[in-house]
Amino acid sequence: MFQKTKRQMKRMFSAKKVQMLTLMLLCGTTAVMAQNSAGDYSAGTTALATVTEEIAKYVPIMVKLCYAIAGVVAIVGAISVYIAMNNEEQDVKKKIMMVVGACIFLIAAAQALPMFFGIGA
């Protein structure tokens, strides 16, 4: 009877099961300790607020930069289309659509940038 009990105990407490149980207890204990030792996060919150304010200062500059880039793209694109038309190239419509699309994208990006950062501009 003693041998039978011994075999059952060996099956019940195999090395893999004991290792898994130990790992689970260790992870659970670590998680509880980390949760209990959570400190004051006011320094991190203050830093994030400062970063948000600094980014908000740059948004109007970036909007103006997007408009300026759109203007340069429009001028360079218009010259490119004019040259293509004078040379009677085949893809003039494609060039026009690409220039117009780029300008629309840049203007839309300039309009969406303040909304993305939650700034009323």
Q: What three-state secondary structure class fits 119? A: coil
pLDDT band for 22, please (50, 70, 90 cuts).
confident
Cα–Cα dist 112/105, whole Å: 10
Domain count, the chain: 1
Residue 117 backbone dihedrals phi, psi, to 5 degrees? -90, 5
What burial class does residue 109 get, using C-beta atoms within 10 Å of its C-beta: 0-12 exposed, 13-18 middle, 19+ buried? middle
* 29, part of any domain: no
What burial class does residue 106 get, using C-beta atoms within 10 Å of its C-beta: 0-12 exposed, 13-18 middle, 19+ buried? buried
* 30, part of any domain: no
* 67, part of any domain: yes
* 16, part of any domain: no
* 116, part of any domain: yes
* 61, part of any domain: yes
* 64, part of any domain: yes
Cα–Cα dist 100/83, whole Å: 16
pLDDT band for 42, please (50, 70, 90 cuts).
confident
- Residues of the chain with pLDDT > 90: what percent? 40
Q: Which residues contact 71 (CB under 8 A, 6 or more apart)?
A: none
Q: What would the mean pLDDT of 85-91 be, rounded to a whole number?
A: 90
Print the domain residue range for 85. Answer: 54-121
* 17, part of any domain: no
